Amino acid sequence: MPPFTYRLRFLIPRDRLPHTAPDEPHLIRLKGDTVKLHINQGEGTRPDALVLTQHGIATVDQAREQAEATKYALMRTGLVTNVPMLFGKNESSIRLSSVLVERIREASGVTPRPDVHGIDVMDEADGPTATFQLQAEGYVRSPIDRFLAELTATLDRNWRDFASHARLGLAVEVFMGADMERTPRTRFLDLVTVLEILADRGSRAQAAIAIVDGALAVLEGQRASMGDEEANSLRSALSELKTRSISRSIRDLAAGLDTARIAGFKESDIGRFLGRCYTLRSRLVHDGVAPETYDVAQMSGDLFFLVRYLLIRRIDELSAV
């Protein structure tokens, strides 16, 4: 069986990336293997394309496994260096018929590839390939050299793949998407959503659960008088009270953190800050406006650094040093 290649691609606006030898691939050497990060400069207002490739992988499964590991390493690198990226779901937006692929290959010797947003695994026996332009976006605010150094260090660790941790992967994607928001309010709501995804809603104390069970029993006794629809709605609301509130769960998420270790975070009392964040979230969602005493832009900035720290910490907890 011939070796295989994986390729992971994303785009960044040209004015956000300091170019360092953009016409040559940056080589990242990992335990005898070489990963190439190539910067293809866009023309006019088109963004640059960053293509990360690794060749010579023995099987399709190994290629996809290594590509997934690279994807999550890129996620962490983006968090550490403040380089948001959108990776997609490894799906093709342009599907090419096998007949068309074969005709182009016979005529040109080049195998056309579909536009895959995310990971593309190729059989090297197909020879040279040409891929339709990927449409995605991201913002780079760090010099490419720092990004490469962090990516190299991250890839070279023994990672426990967190692909199976669906909530964490979603939280990272929402966090990176928050940087694309155009207003402080929408950015703030995205960041609070990340906290909601990360928070674990545990059960309340047994005494509290007993009170809820008592209310549920009373409800069942009144079901005939109110009808099933109303009774079922109340039952669902009461059952929800057996778990802690989402605002409390979010505060628990950050309990015990040392604010001095959170770069960029200026608040001294994390619990109080998160309480104010959830109050602001509720007012924005239900009223459409923030309280006059709340500076949404400032709170969004502080929340960014806190959420970023929490994400990096959670990812690192899942990796073997």
Q: What is the pLDDT of residues 6-33, one digit of tens each?
A: 677 665 555 545 554 455 666 777 666 7
* Rounded Cα distance, 195 and 73, in Å: 21
Is the predicted pLDDT of residue 295 greater than 80, yes or no? yes
The overall longest dimension of the chain from CA atoms, in Å, is 78
Is the predicted pLDDT of residue 190 greater than 90, yes or no? yes
Q: Is the CB of residue 31 less than 8 Å from the CB of residue 12?
A: no
* Rounded Cα distance, 311 and 153, in Å: 18
pLDDT band, residue 307 (cuts 50/70/90): very high
Q: Is the CB of residue 177 less than 8 Å from the CB of residue 235?
A: no
Is the predicted pLDDT of residue 308 greater than 60, yes or no? yes
The two structure tokens encoding residue 262: 């959170």
Of 29-43, 82-96, 251-265, the poorest mean pLDDT is in 82-96
* Rounded Cα distance, 284 and 241, in Å: 24
More confident of the two residues 301 and 102: 301
Q: Is the CB of residue 84 less than 8 Å from the CB of residue 180?
A: yes
Is the predicted pLDDT of residue 317 greater than 60, yes or no? yes
Amino acid (one-letter) located at 171: A
* Rounded Cα distance, 318 and 321, in Å: 10
pLDDT band, residue 116 (cuts 50/70/90): low
Q: Is the CB of residue 145 less than 8 Å from the CB of residue 17?
A: no
Q: Which of 142, 154, 169, 175 is nearest to 307 (CA)?
A: 175
For 141, 167, 317, the CA distances from 119, given in Å and listed in that order, are 24, 20, 25
Average pLDDT, the chain: 76
* Rounded Cα distance, 244 and 241, in Å: 7
More confident of the two residues 280 and 147: 280
What pLDDT is stored for residue 309 in this prediction? 93
More confident of the two residues 100 and 306: 306
* Rounded Cα distance, 212 and 219, in Å: 10
Percent of the chain scored above 90 by pLDDT? 11
The two structure tokens encoding residue 97: 């018929």
Percent of the chain scored above 70 by pLDDT? 71
pLDDT digits (tens, 9 = 90+) for 192-225: 999 999 888 777 778 888 888 888 888 888 888 8
Average pLDDT over residues 106-116: 71
Sequence-ordered list of residues with C-beta below 8 angstroms from that of 240, at least 6 positions apart, any chain: none
Q: Is the CB of residue 42 less than 8 Å from the CB of residue 48?
A: yes
What pLDDT is stored for residue 34 in this prediction? 80
* Rounded Cα distance, 193 and 281, in Å: 9
Amino acid (one-letter) located at 197: I
Question: Please, what is the end-to-end C-alpha distance for the chain in angstroms?
Answer: 34
Which DSSP helix (H) or strand (E) runs through 23?
A: none
Sequence-ordered list of residues with C-beta below 8 angstroms from that of 250, at least 6 positions apart, any chain: 195, 196, 199, 274, 277, 278
What pLDDT is stored for residue 133 in this prediction? 42
* Rounded Cα distance, 10 and 69, in Å: 16
Sequence-ordered list of residues with C-beta below 8 angstroms from that of 129, at least 6 positions apart, any chain: 110, 111, 112, 113, 122
Angle at 131 between CA 127 and CA 137, to 5 degrees: 145
* Rounded Cα distance, 250 and 227, in Å: 36
